[in-house]
Amino acid sequence: MKSFFLGVLAVVAVFLVIGYVGVITGTLIPANADGTPGKLERWAARQSLKATIAREAPSGAAPIPANDETLNAGIKIYGDNCIVCHGAADGRPSTVGFGLYQKAPLLGKHGVEDDPEGEIYWKVDHGIRLTGMPAFGHTLSDTQVWQVAVFLKHMDSLPPASNAKWRALKNPAMLVPRDKLPKQMRPKSSD
């Protein structure tokens, strides 16, 4: 029995050494932001994010109403803080967001309306490690974080006046003319 446990311990030690060498040499988990993450890295990041959100995100509805005042405040906060990475209503990739690892989701194109408000709030408040998504809880008030979370939750069903404000936002990171964007950033219709 003793030799069995020593064998198991030896196998674990070998895997730990291989993992350690892989990390310190940069071959197991590369540090470059433009590299493709491996399956293990993607799996570990997803599982960690899911578990953390399940444990820490507020449950239930937002503590503020989804009225015009809240939605318009959320749109302004999004324009001031989020649009540079996540893009505007037109869904065009941002020159900043495109260079992030992982590429920032284009919320004007693929929103988060199906996510619970508490999950959206948590992501805005705490950020997401190793993705470029900052923790805005240090710079925005709790009410402001909820305002942007409520806007994001309802961005596909905004009242007309709020929808006009959302559609009018311009992304300052899109100053590059469409034909000067790298080919992979151009909308498919312009190829």
DSSP string covering 96-146, please? TGGGSSSPPP-TTTS--TTS-HHHHHHHHHH-BTTTTB--GGGTS-HHHHH
The predicted structure's pLDDT at residue 181: 64
The predicted structure's pLDDT at residue 189: 57
The predicted structure's pLDDT at residue 185: 61
Q: Are 148 and 82 in contact (CB under 8 A)?
A: yes
What is the pTM assigned to this prediction?
A: 0.79
Query: Across the strands, what pairs with 12?
Result: none
The predicted structure's pLDDT at residue 190: 44
Farthest CA pair distance, the chain: 74
The predicted structure's pLDDT at residue 178: 64
The predicted structure's pLDDT at residue 191: 42
Query: Across the strands, what pairs with 128?
Result: 133
Q: Is 94 exposed, middle or buried (0-12, 13-18, 19+ CB in 10 A)?
A: buried
Tens digits of pLDDT across the chain (191 residues): 888 888 888 888 888 888 788 777 777 766 776 677 778 888 888 999 999 999 999 998 999 999 999 999 999 999 999 999 999 998 887 778 777 777 888 898 888 999 999 999 999 999 998 888 999 999 999 999 999 999 999 999 999 999 999 999 998 876 556 676 667 666 555 44
Domain map of the chain by residue range? 64-190
162: helix, coil or strand? helix
Q: Has domain 64-190 been given CATH number 3.40.50.720?
A: no
Among residues 5, 159, 170, the alpha carbon closest in space to that of 70 is found at 159
Distance from the first to the final alpha carbon of the chain: 66
